[in-house]
Amino acid sequence: MLDVVLVRDSVDIREITVALADGIVPADAYHPSIDIKVGHKAFRRSDSIVPSNIDPVRDWNFKRSDSTLLSKLLSEVSWHDVLEAQDVHVACRHFYETIYSIFDICIPKKCRNTGKSRRYPVWFTKSIIKDCKRKIGLHSAWK
């Protein structure tokens, strides 16, 4: 077997196992299907970072957005900083700074609905939520 599995050396990695697996398509002698499992440190809630630029009281009102301006500004953005970043965290930070600054220009804010907790992101329309619920129902029926 000549396949190479590259994993960044990190203290978070516990173990790596590579084994033969059932494939989606028939395997040949030179290209067997493999299953790669990477054991890593458990995620803790304290490790999550809440975006600092998101207002806990107000959300973007995507229904009232200026979609023409939004599209224009997104098409004019130079993504060089994101694509050339050597670190994924730096790339994500540049990406979100760019997106959120454009959102602030094109999308007005509205007060959050504090009466109940939302299960879905604010930009989900009723039809998307309906599709999500249908998918969950179909998956439950399939199980």
Gap between the Cα atoms of 32 and 22, Å rounded: 9
Residue 75 placed within a domain: yes
Gap between the Cα atoms of 95 and 112, Å rounded: 24
Residue 92 placed within a domain: yes
Residue 91 placed within a domain: yes
Please check whether residues 33 and 53 belong to one and the same domain. no
Q: What is the pLDDT along the chain (143 residues), one digit of tens a residue?
A: 456 666 666 557 777 788 888 877 788 877 788 888 877 776 665 555 555 556 666 788 888 999 999 999 999 999 998 898 888 888 998 999 999 999 999 999 888 765 555 677 777 888 888 898 888 888 888 87
Range of the domain at 18: 13-44
Tokens of 73: 């500004």
Tokens of 99: 């997106």
Please check whether residues 77 and 29 belong to one and the same domain. no
Residue 3 placed within a domain: no
Question: What are the strands, taking DSSP E only, across the chain?
Answer: 13-20, 34-40, 58-60, 109-111
